[in-house]
Structure 1
Amino acid sequence: MENLAKQQTVLVTGGTGFIGLYCILQLLKEGYTVKTTLRSLTRKDEVNNLLSKAGINSLEKLSFVEADLTKDHNWDEAVKDCTYVLHVASPFPASDPVDADELIIPARDGALRVLKAARGAGVKRVVLTSSFAAIGYSKDIKDHVFTELDWTDPELSDNAYVKSKSIAEKAAWDFINSEGGDLELTVINPVGVFGPALGKDYSTSIGMVKAIIDGHLTETPPFTFGVADVRDVADIHVIAMTSSKAAGERFLATSTGAMSLYDVAELIRKERPELAGNIGDLQPLDPSLSIVMSNQKAKDLLGWKPKSKEEAILASADSLTE
């Protein structure tokens, strides 16, 4: 892998993002030359510092391109000489915008910009980061196991983020099928992404762990969620990038099992009592509200081995205290 990697360049979009940063980290460790896009090059030093802190001794194989998903400028430059593209960048707001198009348009049009540029540059494969939001929001969770065969119908959701991920992923597949040429597409659909935060741009999911530890969450919402460690999410992107079995496939990226916010609070109380002083009195959920998802396809086709949900949550908690 190392010898082949040395001759290949990979573009990672959204280099300041939580998943994007871990993808860059893994690619550099494996010997690839990496380009990454930032909306502003003013954040270049921040990315370099976080990667150095995470153990990258030499940054000579990393370069930066200023590019914005809402503009055509510089995308041809970004994909130039790249064998692969990991299109990770996409907006994820802390709260729903008033106008859903504020999320839908940059997510959909940004994905198409990247795919068109990649096709024009002769890129072999794009790995697109979608979300469980594009899988699990149209079917009743009762007696159903969610897999890659499930699709969210954006017409049935009022949530702008859910709509944006479904519409953007569908648009990407439509583009590949109708005008993709030789370009291959693989899609990764992560659930809630946890794990150690490298910098201040950690996931909305880790924000929930912080809210529990700080005592800001005092009630258990009536839902459960899947957990994926960010290191595993980066890993499945990099495996899917080169695997011959991954072309034209989508993969649900989740640890085994699901959790409620009550479960997260109890785990921290038990395993990290020193962090539990402010945790509120959350109540357990009715087990019938638990969602069931399968990670079997990623394990079987890609040999992916995700960490446990508990390890991912505790890594989040530990990194917040650092």
Structure 2
Amino acid sequence: MQNPEILQPLIEQRADPFIIRHTDGYYYFTASVPQYDRIELRRALTIAGLVDAEKVDVWHKPDTGAYSELIWAPEIHFNDGAWYVYFAAAPSREIKHKLFQHRMYAIRNTNANPLEGEWEFMGQIDTGIDTFCLDATTFTHKGQLYYLWAQKDVAIEGNSNLYIAPMKTPWQLGGPPVMLSKPEFDWEIRGFWVNEGPSVLKKNGKIFISYSASATDENYAMGILWADENADVLDPASWTKSPQPVLQTCFEHGVYGPGHNSFTIGDDGETVMLVYHARTYTEIIGDPLWNPDRHTYVKPLKWDEQGMPVFGKPSVA
């Protein structure tokens, strides 16, 4: 008999999951689809309802061009009165002749229900650094909209670092990028030197940034930064980085490589829920990039006496 405490995936074969609970009472879900060829949305009045909710393809990649391959890690946000999906895409290989040349893009929908209405392509979000970049998220703090993402710096060893910048509009930066974190600890550099997939949570007088590190196999793990809510979020000195991961593979229960998370609010309107993907086996057949078996998990986040989040095991609710 299966242990009832062992957490099962919420949605299978959806990586880089993002769930938002909007003011209309609906949960909206998007994630990377295994084909990496489109942006899919679904909505429901409960988190569990997302499992069987209608899947609506709201945008398809073009056949060729600068953003015609490997549509990765979409996130849906409601900014300045409209819906935006931020995502990364690579150019067709006849342009760059290399696979991983992603840049970041946005689409917009002014309809109240983003599964309806028209999506407008807003173009590339230019960070002023012409290198591989991905995994954008946005958050508003003290009335200012911020952009937070992962990008490569050719002068720094590794594949990607975490950057933040203010936004002038929901599709344009309003200031230069500021680096907040780079791969430096042993658990961040296994397979690849990576800091990516940032997500923001504000609670207990602090701003938390979770992120993912290392290769996307069983080495994938999550870390965290935090700052006081009254600090200057554009000052790297405001942020403290945990030297230890906060979520990592659970060999005991067979949940591997947890990461690329988001946060949402539970059905009770209060509990912070951790949304992330993980695999259920380590012996990946074929190219890991095209292996579809990264599944969406959701579990409640817990808190310690100092007001810090406790992530626990990826396998246990």
State if a TM-score over 0.5 links the two structures.
no
Identify, as 1 or 2, the structure richer in helix.
Answer: 1
Q: Whose radius of gyration is greater, 1 or 2?
A: 1
Determine which structure has the larger strand proportion and give its number. 2
